Amino acid sequence: MLFPAIHGPTVMLRNFSPEEVTTDYVNWLNDPVINKYLEVRHAKVTLETQKAFIDQINKSTDTYIFGMFVDGNRMVGTTKLGPVDSNLRTGDIGILIGDSNYWHKGLATEVIQLLCDAFKSAHLLQKVTAGAAESNIGSIKAFEKNGFSREEMQLGPGIDDCGNPVSNVILTKIL
């Protein structure tokens, strides 16, 4: 689905189209350091598969994907909201900051706030959820800074680098 651009102090979120999928973006998705906490780490992404994925999201009736842009038109990542349950007005947020130059600078915290504010104002959401690996401290902190609470722990389907089961933290916020 499409949504108007969202402007923040540092970042602008705008609809992301298949034509904007670049080799750099695909490289982020395939980089084990960058994709360490992403489900995409289990697959090899190509320009074609990622363009098809973005096209599928944009054609969906319940999911949004935004490019994260700084300094005018420099894309540093993407964020996905959905699926959105229009009856319950709930949705799930996922974030990828692919450009590691923008890690640890508060960008994820700003993106989460922008999404929550915009979708609350549009009367599309009243509750938002997110999941993060227990070891993904930065992501968990970004959600908690935005008023998300840890609701539960779930044993994830994967294993960490040491062969231990991965636990996921489920975070929620009522808007």
For the chain, domains (ranges, CATH) are: 6-174 (3.40.630.30)
CA distances for 38 relative to 8, 43, 88, angstroms: 25, 10, 26
Compute how many other C-beta atoms are within 10 angstroms of the C-beta atom of residue 117: 14
Q: What pTM was computed for the model?
A: 0.91
| pLDDT score recorded for residue 50 | 96
pLDDT in tens, the chain (175 residues): 899 999 999 999 999 999 999 999 999 999 998 988 887 887 899 999 999 999 999 999 999 999 999 998 999 999 999 999 999 999 999 999 999 999 999 999 999 999 999 999 999 999 999 999 888 999 999 999 999 999 877 666 566 666 667 788 999 999 9
Tell whether the torsion through CA atoms of 86, 112, 74 and 103 is positive or negative: negative
Buried b (16+ CB within 10 A) or exposed e, 52-90: ebbeebbeeeebbbbbbbbeeeebbbbbbbbebeeeebb
Compute how many other C-beta atoms are within 10 angstroms of the C-beta atom of residue 128: 26
Q: Tens of pLDDT along 59-110?
A: 999 999 999 999 989 999 999 999 999 999 999 999 999 999 999 999 999 9
